[in-house]
């Protein structure tokens, strides 16, 4: 039986209590336990600030980037092992695991490359000088420097690899030491990866700590220069915002929460059109890839009312072709949810959606599961719901069923589509499918203020896009309102979260001396 440990003050330590079990969602078998009772989170934070922070701050951006590259190499060397853990503990098919594991490695490599563009500096100066006096004796420049705090990274269960390393890549490049807390249910992969990175002795002492378990006392110990980056449900996000330790210390706080993301088919995109086909592909991915457990996943599909039945029929046919089963077997499209608790939560959400929708496909435990017992594994059938006409709907815009579930809704015109999208109260990602660029642009303009990212697929983009749900490190990730209001990644933009922008006022000579070795960039 596996017993996960925490990595604090450069040592691996076990929790003092029996802890919480984590399982194989395909079989229900308990794989091990995770516990952080007795792990001193305050000490972990202090060590990060006092040992890891100065060690990282002494390195140039280029040198920090080299560390990221070496971490990526270490992780890439054991890719098969990570895929195996992802299959056993997260129920991932190889395609699902690739999104998490290769996504992590790719993001680290991207930031390693980006570091080279910053060169040998340790601070960043924004282009442009503001003159503050009549003559040229007194000016201002805006300078970004590393804050003397730690990055507290709290992650959701669905991306144990990418969730950790996408945040870590940005924090380390900014010079911030890390105390990471993976979600307990899937912490095994994060723990194994951090062990591999520790064994390779890449990072300076205190630059990376990991707390596996509930991390009692972590938020009580945050300080004013720390940066807390949380990913998870809106409910936990609310709790963290209101936490006394967070309120008292006022650290930087980034919340990446859930959202009820929309995909939108343009009025002119009938059956057989490119736009119609591309949306069908993405909707099929939404009810199969990672069993729908992506925060950016399509949840609502807005289709012009006259096209609704044709779209539902075509999507139902695609769903009928999906193979559900043991993610370790060849040709499986849909694995299980991550555990029994998530399955119960999905059923509870479906029961609420059922009041406003008609079930076209799925809605429960699948009748046929290849190579596994549906009574033991956490399998949920790919589910297609259609919203009933003539009802003032609430739940479809509000309830995120974290599984392979989409709801199709009809709309009459662009203003109505925008109004329906806005009912999600702010989302991570939207996608628009239109063959005409002007029509697409009008829809994108309506959706942009409500979303952190909008994907527009037209005839030119065709199949050559990255997908509705896939987060790219060069694009910002996060969304307004319910989605948490956070912003991660986005190339150099991500560094803002861990660095301080200061308006420095003084003589041109002083400013020149201060910024002589700084990288010039706009964050």
- Tell the burial category of 350 from Cβ atoms under 10 Å away from its Cβ (0-12, 13-18, 19+): buried
- 311-316 CB contacts, 8 Å cutoff, 24+ apart: 311/265, 311/271, 311/276, 311/279, 311/280, 311/408, 312/360, 312/384, 312/386, 312/408, 314/271, 314/276, 314/280, 315/280, 315/283, 315/284, 315/384, 315/406, 315/408, 316/360, 316/361, 316/384
**Stretch near ligand NAP under the rule CB under 6 A, chosen from 9-17, 100-108, 152-160, 198-206:** 152-160
Which residue, 157 or 188, has its beta carbon nearer to ligand NAP?
Answer: 157
Which residue, 273 or 296, has its beta carbon nearer to ligand NAP?
Answer: 296
23 is catalytic: no
Which parts of 194-223 interact with ligand NAP (CB under 6 A)? 214-215, 218-219
Q: How far is the CB of 477 from ligand NAP (least distance, A)?
A: 6
Q: How far is the CB of 324 from ligand NAP (least distance, A)?
A: 21
Is residue 154 within the footprint of ligand NAP (CB under 6 A)? yes
Is residue 145 within the footprint of ligand NAP (CB under 6 A)? no
Is residue 61 within the footprint of ligand NAP (CB under 6 A)? no
Contact with ligand NAP (CB under 6 A) among 15, 25, 65, 232: 232
Is residue 86 within the footprint of ligand NAP (CB under 6 A)? no
295 is catalytic: yes
Nearest to 223 by CA among 244, 258, 248: 248
Compute the distance between CA of residue 277 and CA of residue 67 in angstroms, rounded to an integer: 43
Which residue, 358 or 423, has its beta carbon nearer to ligand NAP?
Answer: 423
Which parts of 281-300 interact with ligand NAP (CB under 6 A)? 295
Who's near 443: CB < 8 A, 6+ residues apart? 264, 266, 414, 417, 418, 432, 434, 456
Using DSSP's 3-state secondary structure scheme, residue 23 falls into strand
Q: How far is the CB of 212 from ligand NAP (least distance, A)?
A: 9
Q: Can you tell me which residue has the tokens 């307990």?
A: 184
Which parts of 19-38 interact with ligand NAP (CB under 6 A)? none
If phi > 0 it is left, if psi is from -120 to 50 it is alpha, else beta; for residue 487 that is beta
**Stretch near ligand NAP under the rule CB under 6 A, chosen from 126-134, 179-187, 203-211, 368-376:** 179-187
Q: Select the residue whose beta carbon is closest to ligand NAP and give its number.
A: 232
Which parts of 383-402 interact with ligand NAP (CB under 6 A)? 400, 402
Which parts of 442-461 interact with ligand NAP (CB under 6 A)? none
Nearest to 124 by CA among 509, 489, 494: 494
Q: How far is the CB of 285 from ligand NAP (least distance, A)?
A: 16
Which residue is catalytic, options 212, 295, 356, 487? 295
CA distances from 337 to 45, 282, 287, 388, 399 (A): 33, 19, 12, 27, 17
Is residue 158 within the footprint of ligand NAP (CB under 6 A)? yes
Which residue is catalytic, options 5, 139, 256, 488? 256
Q: In which element (H, E) is residue 188 found?
A: helix 187-199
**Site size for ligand NAP, by CB under 6 A?**
26
Nearest to 455 by CA among 273, 253, 286, 319: 286
Contact with ligand NAP (CB under 6 A) among 27, 129, 233, 414: 233
Nearest to 95 by CA among 387, 426, 304, 329: 329
Is residue 333 within the footprint of ligand NAP (CB under 6 A)? no
239-268 mask for ligand NAP (x: CB under 6 A)?
x----------------xxx----------
Query: What residues pair up with 506 in beta bridges, in sequence order?
Result: 139
Tokens of residue 85, six digits: 């853990």
Contact with ligand NAP (CB under 6 A) among 178, 183, 384, 440: 183
Is residue 521 within the footprint of ligand NAP (CB under 6 A)? no
Who's near 290: CB < 8 A, 6+ residues apart? 92, 96, 99, 100, 158, 335
Which residue, 159 or 225, has its beta carbon nearer to ligand NAP?
Answer: 159
Q: How far is the CB of 122 from ligand NAP (least distance, A)?
A: 29
Indicate the Cα dihedral angle 238, 242, 246, 250, nearest 10°: 100
Would you please indicate which residues are annotated as catalytic (active-site) residues?
256, 295
Enumerate binding residues for ligand NAP (CB under 6 A): 154-159, 181, 183-185, 214-215, 218-219, 231-233, 236, 239, 256-258, 295, 400, 402, 428
């Amino acid at each position: 039986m596996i017993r996960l440990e925490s990595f604090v003050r450069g040592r691996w330590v076990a929790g003092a209590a029996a802890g919480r079990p984590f399982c194989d969602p395909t079989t229900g078998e308990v794989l091990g336990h995770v516990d952080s009772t007795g792990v001193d989170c305050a000490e972990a934070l202090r060590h990060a600030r006092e040992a890891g922070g100065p060690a990282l701050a002494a390195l140039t951006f280029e040198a920090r980037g080299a560390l990221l590259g070496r971490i990526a190499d270490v992780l890439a060397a054991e890719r098969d092992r990570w895929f195996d853990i992802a299959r056993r503990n997260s129920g991932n098919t190889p395609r699902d695991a690739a999104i998490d594991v290769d996504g992590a490695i790719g993001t680290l490599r991207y930031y390693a490359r980006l570091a080279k563009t910053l060169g040998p500096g340790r601070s960043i100066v924004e282009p442009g000088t503001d003159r503050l006096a009549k003559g040229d004796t007194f000016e201002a420049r805006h300078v970004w420097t590393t804050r003397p705090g730690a990055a507290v990274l709290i992650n959701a269960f669905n991306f144990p690899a990418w969730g950790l390393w996408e945040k870590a890549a940005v924090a380390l490049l900014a010079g911030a030491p890390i105390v990471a807390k993976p979600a307990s249910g899937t912490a095994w992969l994060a723990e194994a990866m951090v062990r591999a990175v520790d064994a390779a002795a890449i990072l300076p002492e205190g630059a990376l700590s990991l707390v596996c378990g509930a991390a009692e006392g972590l938020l009580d110990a945050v300080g004013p220069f720390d940066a807390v980056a949380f990913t998870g449900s809106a409910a936990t996000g609310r709790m963290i915002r209101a936490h006394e330790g967070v309120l008292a210390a006022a650290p930087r706080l980034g919340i990446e929460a859930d959202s009820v993301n929309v995909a939108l088919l343009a009025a002119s995109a009938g059956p057989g059109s490119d736009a119609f086909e591309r949306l069908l592909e993405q909707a099929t991915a939404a009810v199969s890839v990672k069993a729908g457990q992506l925060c950016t996943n399509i949840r609502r599909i807005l289709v012009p009312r006259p096209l609704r039945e044709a779209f539902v029929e075509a999507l139902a046919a695609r769903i009928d072709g999906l193979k559900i089963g043991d993610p370790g077997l060849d040709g499986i499209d849909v694995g299980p949810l991550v555990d029994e608790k998530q399955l119960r939560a999905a059923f509870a959400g479906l029961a609420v959606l059922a009041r406003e929708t008609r079930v076209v496909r799925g809605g429960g435990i699948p009748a046929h599961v290849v190579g596994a017992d549906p009574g033991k594994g956490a399998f949920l059938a790919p589910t297609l719901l259609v919203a009933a006409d003539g009802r003032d709907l609430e739940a479809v815009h509000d309830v995120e069923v974290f599984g392979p579930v989409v709801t199709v809704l009809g709309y009459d015109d662009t203003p109505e589509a925008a109004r329906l999208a806005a009912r999600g109260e702010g989302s991570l990602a939207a996608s628009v499918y239109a063959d005409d660029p002007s029509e697409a642009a009008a829809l994108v303009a309506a959706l942009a203020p409500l979303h952190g990212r909008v994907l527009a697929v037209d005839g030119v983009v065709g199949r050559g896009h990255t997908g509705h749900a896939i987060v790219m490190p060069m694009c910002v990730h996060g969304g307004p309102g319910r989605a948490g209001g956070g912003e991660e990644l986005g190339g150099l933009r991500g560094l803002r979260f861990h660095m301080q922008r200061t308006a420095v006022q003084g003589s041109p000579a002083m400013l020149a001396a201060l910024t002589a070795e700084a990288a010039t960039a706009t964050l």
